[in-house]
Amino acid sequence: MNDDINSKVSPSDFEPYFKEDYFYFGDVVNLPEMSDRQTELIWELLSLGQGSSVLELGCGYGRITNRLAKKGAQVAGLDISPILLKEAEAGAAERDVNVEYVLGDMRSLPWRDRFDAAFLWYTTFGYFDDADNERVLREAASSLRKGGRLLIDHHNRVLLLRHKLPICNVWQRNNDVRIDILSNDVLSDRSHIERIIVRDGCVRRTHLSFRQYGFSEYVSMLRSAGFETVEAYGEEGGAFTSDSSRLMVVAYK
Ligand SMILES: C[S@@+](CC[C@H](N)C(=O)[O-])C[C@H]1O[C@@H](n2cnc3c(N)ncnc32)[C@H](O)[C@@H]1O
């Protein structure tokens, strides 16, 4: 990781959020059958086939990467959290698949012209200021071969803002509880999640903030980053409308 990046947004900003508690509640928040369905959708949206080389930026504990590898893709996963990457490696061993797991920062990637496809899944884009968010897109573009595809899955901010905020979500695993309180700042177009974990009798609070871009902003950023065409889909890969819960952007280099 280069020093310029470390001085701007330290990985420690997200560190408490993406640690062991994130993994602990993972299968409760995204049930295994949901992760299976999401893997199928990613396969389809990115037009993957046997042996396609694909990179997940912010792969977490390998929920999707290990499944894609099981389906026959050649997969690399990059994440900034050593704890989650260790779980990803354990998951790969359990499924008996090979995935290249790399500890790193998505704002500075070690690959050039290599992958058929790359993706940022499950609200893994927008964590930084605009300049660094655009830098992530440029790095993703550089890591793809000509004709490569990039997929970004995010909230549809139009629908989100129609809800009465804040939204509170609660998940339980055994006697432990995770509470997420999601709010939005209209002046900065950023959403904030306050997370409260009650686990083994201890309470921990963490926080994540991310920028919410509309589709036309994605188009302009992705074109500047080197992509030629950009498409929008809703959840399940259907048409994107103001009622879609997710915005899935597919860009072609
Ligand atoms: C919301 S999670 C999504 C994980 C995975 N994509 C999934 O669908 O299960 C976001 C992930 O991005 C990672 N992350 C955050 N900042 C990062 C950075 N600068 N570079 C690489 N990964 C980062 C976190 O550690 C976390 O694993």
The CATH number linked to 79 is 3.40.50.150
Strands (E), the chain: 53-57, 74-79, 99-103, 115-120, 144-155, 167-173, 176-185, 190-199, 202-211, 229-233, 246-252
| Domain containing residue 168 | 161-206
Nearest atom within ligand 1 for CA of residue 128: 19
Q: For residues 226 and 199, state if they share a domain.
A: no
Distance CA 234, CA 52 (A): 24
Name the band, by pLDDT with cuts 50, 70 and 90, for residue 11: very low
Percent of the chain scoring above 90 in pLDDT: 92
Whether the CB-CB separation of 180 and 193 falls below 8 Å is answered with yes
CA 74 – ligand 1 centroid, Å: 20
Q: For residues 167 and 182, state if they share a domain.
A: yes
Res 65: pLDDT: 98
Q: For residues 105 and 132, state if they share a domain.
A: yes
Pairing verdict, β 190-199 and 202-211:
antiparallel
Q: For residues 234 and 135, state if they share a domain.
A: yes
**Ligand 1, residues 14, 22, 123, 136: which to mutate, most atoms within 8 A of Cβ?**
14
pLDDT in tens, 58-97: 999 999 999 999 999 999 999 999 999 999 999 999 999 9
Q: For residues 90 and 137, state if they share a domain.
A: yes
Q: For residues 91 and 139, state if they share a domain.
A: yes
Q: For residues 145 and 199, state if they share a domain.
A: no
**Ligand 1, residues 79, 83, 108: which to mutate, most atoms within 8 A of Cβ?**
79
Is the pLDDT reported for residue 144 higher than 50?
A: yes
Res 9: pLDDT: 40
Q: For residues 76 and 180, state if they share a domain.
A: no
**3 state SS of 237:** helix
* Stated pTM of the model: 0.95
Q: For residues 102 and 122, state if they share a domain.
A: yes
Res 1: pLDDT: 36
Name the band, by pLDDT with cuts 50, 70 and 90, for residue 14: confident
Within 13 Å of residue 150, how many CA atoms lie on the same side as its CB? 31
Name the domain count of the chain: 2
Is the pLDDT reported for residue 132 higher than 70?
A: yes
Q: How much is the average pLDDT of 125-153? A: 98
Name the band, by pLDDT with cuts 50, 70 and 90, for residue 15: confident
Is the pLDDT reported for residue 155 higher than 90?
A: yes
How many residues does this entry show for the chain? 253
Q: For residues 34 and 57, state if they share a domain.
A: yes
* Nearest-CA residue for atom 18 of ligand 1: 105
Two tokens, residue 40:
């199928």
Q: For residues 184 and 240, state if they share a domain.
A: no
Q: For residues 12 and 127, state if they share a domain.
A: yes
Is the pLDDT reported for residue 231 higher than 50?
A: yes
Q: How much is the average pLDDT of 46-53? A: 98
Res 3: pLDDT: 38
Average pLDDT, the chain: 94
Is the pLDDT reported for residue 131 higher than 60?
A: yes
Res 10: pLDDT: 46
Res 86: pLDDT: 98
Least confident of 12-21, 126-135, 170-179, 189-198: 12-21
**Ligand 1, residues 2, 4, 80, 111: which to mutate, most atoms within 8 A of Cβ?**
80
The helix or strand, by DSSP H or E, that contains position 45, with its residue range, turns out to be: helix 32-45
Percent of the chain scoring above 70 in pLDDT: 95
